[in-house]
Amino acid sequence: MLKAYKYRLKPTKDQIILLEKHFGACRFVYNWALNLKIKTYEQTGKSISQFDINKQITILKKENEWLKEVNSQSLQGMTRNLESAFTRFFREKTGFPNFKSKKNPIQSFPVPQYYYADFKKGIVKLPKIGEVEAVLHRSFEGTLKTATVSRSATGGYYISILVDDEKEFPEKKEFSESTTVGIDVGIKDFAILSTGEKVENPKCLKNSLKRLKVLQKRVSRKQKGSKNRGKAKQRLAKLHEKIANQRNDFQHKLSKRLISENQALAVETLNVKGMIKNHHLAQAIGDSAWSSFVTKLEYKAEWYGKTLLRIGQFEPSSKVCNVCGFHNSELTLKDREWTCPDCKTKHDRDINAAINIKKFALIDQNLIGT
């Protein structure tokens, strides 16, 4: 089972210079390799392999002596990243790989081998850089895979270590109607459970929007290229990072609780890209980050042997009475409560949707009747 552990690095001034050289060299090799693949295809109609590109890195290093100051495996790791980008482009249609920009404050490079973390000393040893002080707040056991060193928009340095603990994913635990919970996500309430519980949306972006506008205005008023503009951008980046951290913290705690309390969870497949096109709700939907929450539920369910069930995005979960099955085709988005004309049951729109999500998911599993 593969798990990634991310730690904060505290490099010295000399180590920062070496890290920046790695960022620059790896970015240079990535752009060079991408340009090489494009030109090779234009001239021959065939793609050049990662193996052939790696062989040409030796020639490139003779032409650019400064590349020898950088870990050679990190340079080859960038060609592997490029190959993965092309694989995603052809298989998943994620978009053609872009050239990496020096102006992007977020930079990274891979470290495939020959590094280690010492939890007693609180250091991470990196090739060509040496022992870097790190905040190793949690330990791990297993085989070290590729690590990724990164620089955030706020100027912080991090290392993400991929570890194979050589354990198999636990077997899926049996679940029933009583041990399954349906989850409907929303804007006012972040998650509504089939049990009737409503989890309030923290609205991290909305709560910081006034301060965000002030900082953004300060950036736009500063002269381009000036030190004051750089300082203003740094303050803005720190606030963005704080918002992202608040959102992630909330989602991690909620997803862990739901996974721990239930054997199976049922969610609805949402077309978030399509929903964001509604300009009245786009900011609120983006602030909620539903896709990120479902992703956390997915991998945590794998870790703990739980089951995540999905229903189709066109299932009428909100418009169907969970008691008698009446379909209310006249229900609109502004109707938060409605009464079923057949059985006279008064419904809270969101709780009714959560109950129906659970029912539809269990019907698909043949655990309850239609």
Q: What is the pLDDT of the chain when averaged over all its residues?
A: 93
Q: What's the distance, CA 275 to chain centroid?
A: 19
Residue pair 149/111 in contact by the 8 Å Cβ criterion:
yes
| Contacts of residue 219, Cβ cutoff 8 Å, sequence gap at least 6 | 229, 232, 233, 236
* pLDDT tens-digit map of 116-159: 999 999 999 999 999 999 999 999 999 999 999 999 999 999 99
SS3 assignment for the chain: CEEEEEEEEECCHHHHHHHHHHHHHHHHHHHHHHHHHHHHHHHHCCCCCHHHHHHHHHHHHHHCHHHHHCCHHHHHHHHHHHHHHHHHHHHHCCCCCCCCCCCCCCEEEEECCCCEEECCCCEEEECCCEEEEEECCCCCCCEEEEEEEEECCCCCEEEEEEEECCCCCCCCCCCCCCCEEEEEECCCEEEEECCCCEEECCCHHHHCHHHHHHHHHHHHHCCCCCHHHHHHHHHHHHHHHHHHHHHHHHHHHHHHHHHHHCCEEEEECCCHHHHCCCCCCHHHHHHHCHHHHHHHHHHHHHHHCCEEEEECCCCCCCCECCCCCCECCCCCCCCCEEECCCCCCEEEHHHHHHHHHHHHHHHHCCCCCC
- What pLDDT score was predicted for residue 153? 94
* pLDDT tens-digit map of 234-271: 999 999 999 999 999 999 999 999 999 999 999 999 88
Is 350 annotated in the active site? yes
Worst-scoring range by mean pLDDT, 58-62, 97-101, 333-337?
A: 333-337
Vertex 106: Cα angle to 100 and 109 (nearest 5): 70
- What pLDDT score was predicted for residue 28? 97
- What pLDDT score was predicted for residue 329? 85
Helices 50-63 and 72-92 cross at an angle (nearest 10°) of 140
- Residue with the larger pLDDT of the pair 331 and 309: 309
- Per-residue pLDDT averaged across 264-284, rounded? 91
311 Rama class: left (phi>0) / alpha (psi -120 to 50) / beta: beta
Worst-scoring range by mean pLDDT, 112-121, 191-200, 293-302, 321-330?
A: 321-330
Q: 289: how many CB neighbours lie within 10 A of its CB?
A: 21
- What pLDDT score was predicted for residue 120? 94
- What pLDDT score was predicted for residue 332? 84
- What kind of fold does domain 180-202+253-364 have according to CATH? Nucleotidyltransferase; domain 5 (3.30.420)
Gyration radius of the chain's alpha carbons = 25
- What pLDDT score was predicted for residue 166? 87
- The active-site residue, picked from 171, 337, 350, 364, is 350
**The residue type at 182:** G
- What pLDDT score was predicted for residue 344? 84
- What pLDDT score was predicted for residue 330? 85
- What pLDDT score was predicted for residue 369? 56
Is 168 annotated in the active site? no
Q: Which residue, chain included where needed, has tokens 């490079």? A: 109
User: pTM of the full predicted structure?
Assistant: 0.89
Residue pair 250/291 in contact by the 8 Å Cβ criterion:
no
Domain positions in the chain are 2-164, 180-202+253-364
- What pLDDT score was predicted for residue 366? 66
* pLDDT tens-digit map of 308-319: 999 988 888 888
Task: Tell which residue, 284, 294, 291, has the closest CA to residue 203.
Answer: 284
* pLDDT tens-digit map of 65-113: 999 999 999 999 999 999 999 999 999 888 899 999 999 999 999 999 9
In order of 22, 82, 259, 288, 290, the CA distances from 275 in angstroms are: 40, 31, 27, 12, 11
- What pLDDT score was predicted for residue 370? 54
Task: Tell which residue, 314, 368, 322, 310, has the closest CA to residue 349.
Answer: 322
- What pLDDT score was predicted for residue 198? 94
- The active-site residue, picked from 83, 268, 287, 315, is 268
Task: Tell which residue, 164, 177, 174, has the closest CA to residue 305.
Answer: 174
- The active-site residue, picked from 83, 184, 287, 315, is 184
Is 133 annotated in the active site? no
Residue pair 219/254 in contact by the 8 Å Cβ criterion:
no
203 pLDDT more than 80: yes
